[in-house]
Amino acid sequence: GAGVSQTPSNKVTEKGKYVELRCDPISGHTALYWYRQSLGQGPEFLIYFQGTGAADDSGLPNDRFFAVRPEGSVSTLKIQRTERGDSAVYLCASSPGAGLNGETQYFGPGTRLLVL
């Protein structure tokens, strides 16, 4: 596609449930990032993939959060035993990873997660 896409657009779940959020990066982009944006705040880094591997997962808040990118394209963010504090917009971004515009990250529209 032309841009980064994320599904679902909105997700409502109950406390304790498991959720998966999907990100489809721009074709050919090797770098993929997940961020979390709480209400009224700027996005905060969660995890970064270069290809298939997680190069930096230092932003994941705890072991309930996990992300994969098995084929180096689509990525899934997985949250186990959701808590109300997990409610936020989850943003995905991708970048070419090299070249003149390699440093610019292009964002998807985000998934708004609400944990009841």
Residue 70: which region, alpha, beta or left (left: phi > 0; alpha: psi -120 to 50)?
alpha
Q: In the complex with other proteins, which residue's Cβ is closer, 53 or 70?
A: 53
Bridge-based pairing of strands 75-79 and 65-68 is antiparallel
Q: Is 103 in the site for other proteins (CB under 8 A)?
A: yes
Q: How far is the CB of 16 from other proteins (least distance, A)?
A: 26
Cα–Cα distance list, 59 to 8, 54, 71, 76, 82 (Å):
22, 12, 22, 16, 17
| Of residues 38-67, those binding other proteins (CB under 8 A) | 40-45, 48, 50, 55-56, 59
Q: In the complex with other proteins, which residue's Cβ is closer, 23 or 91?
A: 91
3 state SS of 86: helix
Instruction: By CB under 8 A, name the binding residues for other proteins.
Output: 31, 33, 35, 40-45, 48, 50, 55-56, 59, 89, 91, 93, 97, 103-110, 112
